[in-house]
Amino acid sequence: MPLDFDPRWVRLLQRIKDQFGKKPTLESLLFLIGMNEVGKLQEKYSKEQKQELMHVAVCRLLSYNGYYVHIATDADGWPHFEQLRSMDDMDIEQQETLLKTNIIRYFDELDKAIV
């Protein structure tokens, strides 16, 4: 079954839509995860800051699969990752599926941590 029809993915999208009022995109989910990982909220973000937050999210998500490892958090609270291996063996669709699978895992872990 394609991940877009996986009940866990559909529930997650609905949950975020209910919370924020619009259907999330992959990019908006990465942005939310990045903000959570950095732990800082601000009213506005520059385009560069948004890209950096999404990069943090991608690194965090791909750390589940050994593509990245968290090496440090700087004085401003930004996590830094080291790339351990490349994703060159995957096409874009496979990479997107892996990210979505890991997004589900990430939110599941957040839910367990809150309880």
Annotated domain spans of the chain: 3-114
Mean pLDDT of the 42-71 span: 96
The confidence score (pLDDT) of residue 42 equals 84
The CA-based diameter of the chain, rounded to the nearest angstrom, is: 43
Among residues of the chain, what percentage have pLDDT more than 70? Answer: 97
d(CA 8, CA 12) in angstroms, rounded, equals: 6
Range with lowest mean pLDDT among 1-5, 16-20, 55-59, 102-106:
1-5
d(CA 112, CA 105) in angstroms, rounded, equals: 11
Residues 6+ apart with CB under 8 A from 100: 3, 4, 9, 26
The confidence score (pLDDT) of residue 2 equals 65
The confidence score (pLDDT) of residue 113 equals 85
pLDDT grade for 1, boundaries at 50, 70 and 90? low
Mean pLDDT of the 53-69 span: 98
The confidence score (pLDDT) of residue 29 equals 98
Task: Look up residue 91 and give its DSSP letter.
Answer: -
Inter-helix orientation angle 92-114/7-20, to 10°? 70
